[in-house]
Amino acid sequence: MKTLFLLLWGALSLTISTAALRALWLEPSLASGFALLLVVYYIVCFFQLIRAAYLPWGLLGAYRRAGYWLCLILLPLTLIPLHAAYEIWQQGGYVAVEASLHTEWLHLLLGWLQDALGYLGPLLVLCAVGIGLALMLLRLLRGQVAR
């Protein structure tokens, strides 16, 4: 099973890194370079996660390492609320988009905050969520074994 996961990891890594390199080659920019660095980061983290999951003590032992790599995989996702806050700041206010059933409450909350506090309401909430998630993951990382 480990071999299957490593083969799948290799195929996906090769495909995604080729696409990122092609994008950087065709349109060199800071965003393309950042995307390539993010791809390399995820390639390394997922490889280490697969290695850690198949150690003799695996996911449940006293010296587990999988949680460390899982936290590192989730850490860049905390930039999503910060990016949304940056877009709100650029637009000068929150613009409600068409909501699905799962995100309707979030759009209502952000709209209500904008009505109550101005455009700073949604901006502050999204910044607090992004920074709070990052701090939570960093605190969780401290408790994981990373040898």
Distance CA 45, CA 33 (A): 18
The pLDDT value recorded for residue 63 is 64
Residue 29 has pLDDT above 60, yes or no: yes
pLDDT tens string 86-95 = 888 888 777 7
By percentage, how much of the chain surpasses pLDDT 70? 92
By percentage, how much of the chain surpasses pLDDT 90? 46
User: The tokens of 1 are what?
Assistant: 């099973």
Contact 35, 23 (CB under 8 A): yes
The pLDDT value recorded for residue 56 is 74
The average confidence (pLDDT) of the chain is 86
Q: What is the mean pLDDT of residues 23-49?
A: 94
| Cα–chain center distance at 14 | 20
The pLDDT value recorded for residue 145 is 65
The pLDDT value recorded for residue 12 is 96
pLDDT tens string 51-107 = 888 877 656 666 677 888 888 999 999 999 999 888 888 887 777 777 677 777 777
At which residue do the structure tokens 């370079």 appear?
A: 33
**pLDDT band at residue 7 under the 50/70/90 scheme:** very high
Sequence-separated (6 or more) residues with CB below 8 Å from residue 53: 59, 66
Sequence-separated (6 or more) residues with CB below 8 Å from residue 105: none
